[in-house]
């Protein structure tokens, strides 16, 4: 395994970060704050938020069972994805390897950062071959992207294959577990202590019902988190988001109820889809959505749009010809979708 220093971009390793007023004094005893050029009026929004979100991380730590120093919070997972490129990959020199098809942001962020993106096709069951992934790496491969449960296919990636990658690859392995709240498999965030170069992504946008507040999480060894902290914008998580996230993390029972309901709806919807004449196959899923192969994805998509129902057309995505991705909604929304499809001629 490489030393972290050999994986991080040299300019980032050497970087002296911006030191904000709130970094330099973060104690609790002071009561007169004349250090940050804030307006003394309009409490509480006059004050800069905690740059390291310490109170919020305590709650995340408790719920996710990851140590506070192993947590990075970002403006959505998207911030963490972009940071991974900016910290580890040198533009026009390094490359990354990723499963294909998967979440589109890994590729977009590679393009933005001018880093070569090497997609490695999954098999017909959307499963990954560790061997194929590793064969696509060379000495400039800094990061491997795995998403499990995967988007858009919904399935978990085989654990043994992921472990082979973790045990063999000497760079950074990212496992995006945006949908792990819907899965019964043990999440990889519990493996952080076994794999110092593992980064696990989580988000408040899916099971936690908070896509609007933009809060993503990266869990990793504290050395990696320290690098993210020095590169991120000083106040990347605003006060409103920190407060709202703390509120929902303090009352997680609601979330558990949502997940349970969505899982019940999942089996009902999948069974109903299998009965539809316009549906050829329903792929197994561990997420709050499923992928369905249809007779004519584009035609059905347009028909549904006319009815005011929007699903995701994945027809043009690798291995997803004629596939629609269906997110589970409320019981009523799911029934509207089914009834539209049943009445299609
Ligand atoms: C939805 C999704 C995310 C969430 O991104 P946010 O920026 O946190 O909203 C991350 N990864 C995958 C695979 C997703 O499908």
Return the best residue to mutate from 206, 218, 314 for the ligand 1 pocket (most ligand atoms within 8 A of CB): 206
CB distance 237 to 246 below 8 Å: no
Question: Does residue 4 have a pLDDT over 80?
Answer: yes
pLDDT band at 251 (very low <50, low <70, confident <90, very high): confident
Tell whether ligand 1 has an atom less than 6 A from the beta carbon of residue 208: no
Q: Give me the chain's average pLDDT, please.
A: 96
Q: What is the pLDDT of residues 257-309, one digit of tens each?
A: 999 999 999 999 999 999 999 999 999 999 999 999 999 999 999 999 999 99
Nearest-CA residue for atom 11 of ligand 1: 178
Distance CA 341, CA 335 (A): 10
Tell whether ligand 1 has an atom less than 6 A from the beta carbon of residue 152: no
What single DSSP character describes residue 127? P
Q: What is the pLDDT of residues 298-334, one digit of tens each?
A: 999 999 999 999 999 999 999 999 999 999 999 999 9
Residue 86, class by beta-carbon neighbours within 10 Å (0-12 exposed, 13-18 middle, 19+ buried)?
middle
Q: What is the mean pLDDT of residues 176-189?
A: 97
32 alpha carbon – ligand 1 mean position (Å): 40
DSSP secondary structure string for all residues of 35-80: SS---SSSTTTTSPPPTT-HHHHHHHHHHHT--GGGEEEESSHHHH
pLDDT at 29: 86
Tell whether ligand 1 has an atom less than 6 A from the beta carbon of residue 161: no
Coil, helix or strand for 278? coil
Tell whether ligand 1 has an atom less than 6 A from the beta carbon of residue 176: yes
Nearest-CA residue for atom 5 of ligand 1: 77
Other C-beta atoms lying within 10 Å of the C-beta of residue 231: 15
Tell whether ligand 1 has an atom less than 6 A from the beta carbon of residue 288: no
Q: What is the pLDDT of residues 162-171, one digit of tens each?
A: 999 999 999 9
78 alpha carbon – ligand 1 mean position (Å): 7
Tell whether ligand 1 has an atom less than 6 A from the beta carbon of residue 177: no
Nearest-CA residue for atom 14 of ligand 1: 178
Locate the ligand 1 atom nearest the alpha carbon of residue 79 and give its number. Answer: 7
Question: Does residue 345 have a pLDDT over 80?
Answer: no
Question: Does residue 27 have a pLDDT over 90?
Answer: no
Tell whether ligand 1 has an atom less than 6 A from the beta carbon of residue 154: no
Q: What is the mean pLDDT of residues 122-142?
A: 98
pLDDT at 20: 84
pLDDT at 106: 98
pLDDT at 19: 85
Tell whether ligand 1 has an atom less than 6 A from the beta carbon of residue 94: no
Is 24 or 40 the better-scoring residue by pLDDT?
40
Tell whether ligand 1 has an atom less than 6 A from the beta carbon of residue 245: no
Nearest-CA residue for atom 7 of ligand 1: 76
Comparing C-alpha atoms, which of 292, 283, 334, 332 is closest to residue 315? 292
Q: What is the mean pLDDT of residues 60-74?
A: 97
Residue 254, class by beta-carbon neighbours within 10 Å (0-12 exposed, 13-18 middle, 19+ buried)?
exposed
Q: Which residues pair with 203 in a beta bridge?
A: 216
Question: Does residue 125 have a pLDDT over 90?
Answer: yes
pLDDT band at 24 (very low <50, low <70, confident <90, very high): confident
Return the best residue to mutate from 174, 203, 214, 285 for the ligand 1 pocket (most ligand atoms within 8 A of CB): 203
Tell whether ligand 1 has an atom less than 6 A from the beta carbon of residue 147: yes
% the chain with pLDDT above 70: 100
- HEC string for 174-235: EEECCCHHHCCCCCHHHHHHHCCCEEEEEECCCCCCCHHHCCEEEECCHHHHHHHHHHCCCC
pLDDT at 240: 97
pLDDT at 221: 98
What is the rounded end-to-end Cα distance, in angstroms, of the chain?
A: 58
- Kindly report the pTM of this predicted structure: 0.96
Tell whether the torsion through CA atoms of 61, 66, 71 and 74 is positive or negative.
Answer: negative
Nearest-CA residue for atom 13 of ligand 1: 103
Nearest-CA residue for atom 2 of ligand 1: 178
Q: What is the mean pLDDT of residues 64-82?
A: 98
Is 208 or 1 the better-scoring residue by pLDDT?
208
Question: Does residue 1 have a pLDDT over 90?
Answer: no
Question: Does residue 21 have a pLDDT over 90?
Answer: no
Q: What is the mean pLDDT of residues 100-115?
A: 98
Most distant CA pair in the chain, distance: 71
């Amino acid at each position: 395994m490489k030393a972290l220093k050999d994986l991080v971009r040299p300019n980032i390793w050497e970087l002296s970060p911006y030191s904000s007023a709130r970094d330099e004094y973060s104690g609790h005893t002071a009561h007169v704050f004349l250090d940050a050029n804030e307006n003394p009026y309009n409490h509480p929004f006059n004050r800069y938020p905690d740059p390291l979100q310490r109170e919020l991380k305590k709650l995340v730590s408790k719920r996710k069972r990851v140590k506070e120093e192993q947590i990075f919070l970002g403006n959505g997972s998207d911030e963490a994805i972009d940071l991974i490129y900016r910290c580890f990959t040198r533009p026009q020199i390094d490359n990354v390897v990723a499963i294909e098809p998967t979440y589109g942001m890994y590729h977009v962020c590679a393009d933005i950062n001018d880093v070569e993106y090497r997609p490695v096709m999954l098999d017909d069951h959307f499963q990954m071959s560790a061997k194929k992934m590793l064969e696509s790496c060379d000495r400039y491969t800094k990061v491997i992207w795995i998403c499990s449960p995967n988007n858009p296919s919904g399935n978990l990636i085989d654990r043994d294959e992921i472990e082979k990658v973790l045990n063999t690859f000497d760079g950074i392995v990212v496992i995006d577990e945006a949908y792990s709240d819907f899965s019964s498999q043990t999440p990889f965030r519990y493996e952080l202590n076994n794999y110092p170069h593992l980064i696990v992504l989580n988000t408040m946008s899916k099971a936690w019902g908070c896509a609007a507040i933009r809060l993503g999480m990266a869990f990793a060894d504290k050395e990696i988190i320290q690098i993210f902290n020095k590169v991120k914008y000083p106040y990347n998580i605003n006060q409103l988001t920190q407060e709202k996230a703390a509120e929902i993390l303090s009352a997680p029972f609601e979330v558990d109820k949502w997940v349970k309901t969505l899982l019940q709806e999942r089996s009902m919807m999948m069974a109903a889809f299998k009965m539809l004449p316009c549906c050829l196959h329903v792929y197994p899923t561990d997420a709050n959505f499923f992928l369905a192969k249809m007779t004519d994805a584009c035609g059905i998509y347009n028909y549904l749009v006319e009815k005011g129902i929007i699903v995701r057309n994945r027809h043009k995505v690798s291995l997803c010809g004629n596939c629609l991705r269906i997110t589970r909604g409320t019981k009523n929304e799911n029934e509207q979708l089914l009834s539209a499809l049943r009445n299609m001629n």
